[in-house]
Amino acid sequence: MAEQKLSIPKGYRKTKQREAILKVLERAEYPINAEQIFMELKNRGIEISLSTIYRNLEMLTKEGLVVKSYMMNEDKARFALPDKKNYLVCEKCGKIVIIDNCPFDKFKEELIEVHGFDITGHSIEVYGVCPDCQKKG
């Protein structure tokens, strides 16, 4: 998984908080929530407030740079770069693995044909048990 490079969209100012949030999202290996971004930045000694994080996440989502999603049995929103929006979740340990080369396109055509929708995006979440947890039990 190559680390995708993000930049602040046109029309928005460059602030250290904004840049720090983008960096965390770039480095994240899977969708993370606002609190996690907050803690990550705190650990790096970067001062920021939760409301700033929320406001920026909203902006980035609206601009299409970031995708918001919810996971089973979780009440908080997670955010990730678009290339990390399809993933597998282990029901036992919670491990998250991104689906690269999402095979969605293979049946996209079929969906268009059957329902007539002009498809602009999708999100796939798959649950199961990861190899490690299979061994353990």
In the complex, the residues that contact its own copies under the rule CB under 8 A are 68-70, 72-73, 88, 90-91, 97, 99, 103-104, 106-107, 110-111, 115-131, 134
Residue 7: contacted member of its own copies, DNA, none (CB under 5 to 8 Å, by partner type): none
Q: Could you tell me the smallest distance in angstroms from the CB atom of residue 46 to its own copies?
A: 28
Please report how close the Cβ of residue 69 comes to DNA at its closest, in angstroms: 10
Residue with tokens 């919670």: 94
d(CA 22, CA 15): 11
User: 16 vs 92, which CB is nearer to its own copies?
Assistant: 92
In whole angstroms, how close is the CB of 15 to its own copies at the nearest point? 25
**From the list its own copies, DNA, none, which binds 29 (C-beta under 5 to 8 Å, kind-based)?**
none
Residues 26-85 that bind DNA (CB under 7 A): 33-35, 47-52, 54-58, 75-77
Angle at 85 between CA 73 and CA 16, to 5 degrees: 100
CB of 27 to DNA, least distance (A): 18
Contact present, 86 and 104 (Cβ < 8 Å) = yes
Euclidean distance between CA atoms 46 and 43, whole angstroms: 7
The residues near 30 (Cβ < 8 Å, ≥ 6 apart) are 80, 84, 87, 96, 97, 98
CB contact at 8 A, 9 and 106: no
Binding site for DNA (CB under 7 A): 12-18, 33-35, 47-52, 54-58, 75-77
